[in-house]
Structure 1
């Protein structure tokens, strides 16, 4: 008969594996929901890709560098996903404004709309660092 230590190890290991599989399943399910088509026939990710593709030519080097600074605190593993989400929202804002170039204003508005409120404190810190007036974007923060 196995000793008590081994039985506890198997029990705790089973719980650990169950938790890891549950966490992975949760994120996979979220991705699945984002891929589901909405009423218009396109999913959230389809619209995001559409806006990125439509505004690809509007980006300048300064805008790309500023976006990279804003996604810097995101862990490397999730940075590409965050960058694409923010870039899609920036593209949507730029297309609504019928802009000929993506400006810092579009980037800040898109960042605010694409990220949760808890992440805006980093944006405020970065705006202060670059001496950009925050009052213009107060409605988005």
Structure 2
């Protein structure tokens, strides 16, 4: 009986160490996003700025499309993903000096904000909605990593 208890304690220790490591990893990532950049604002500060600056520019149709696009994200992470994607869409809209966020801007911003592995789902969803992906091919060809460094320059090409 004591051998079983010993094994359970060992398993419990490894489980706790694993869970604490995973939690620490996510906390550290959030900490890195809060560190100020050269301009004095952090990545999270800029995300918040773009979301607040453009929150009145969204129509219900575009809000619904964004909800459909973030639907496959696990519920635990969906709010974070929605916020990050909406901020990039807002940034693109402000760069274009738009008054309202339209479907084209939403799709461009979504592509820019998401990693390449999520583009397959986006293509499938756009095909279901009968939206042509040809105008967005230049964005699909670049991975998210390409956008993180000088994405504005790549966007204007």
Normalised by the length of structure 2, the TM-score is: 0.87
Give 4+ residue runs of structure 1 displaced > 2 Å after superposition: none
Equivalent-residue separation in structure 1 for 2:76 and 2:3 (angstroms): 39
Equivalent-residue separation in structure 2 for 1:35 and 1:10 (angstroms): 37
Where structure 1 has 5 or more consecutive residues not aligned to the other structure, the ranges are none
Normalised by the length of structure 1, the TM-score is: 0.96
1:22-61 superposed matches below 5 A: 22-61=21-60
Equivalent-residue separation in structure 1 for 2:113 and 2:120 (angstroms): 14
| Total equivalences in the alignment | 140
Give the alignment's Cα RMSD to 1 decimal. Answer: 0.9
Equivalent-residue separation in structure 1 for 2:97 and 2:40 (angstroms): 24
Equivalent-residue separation in structure 2 for 1:5 and 1:61 (angstroms): 58
Equivalent-residue separation in structure 2 for 1:15 and 1:72 (angstroms): 33
Equivalent-residue separation in structure 1 for 2:32 and 2:26 (angstroms): 10
Shift of 1:100: 1.2
1:51-90 superposed matches below 5 A: 51-90=50-89
Q: Which residue matches 1:140?
A: 139
Where structure 2 has 5 or more consecutive residues not aligned to the other structure, the ranges are 141-157
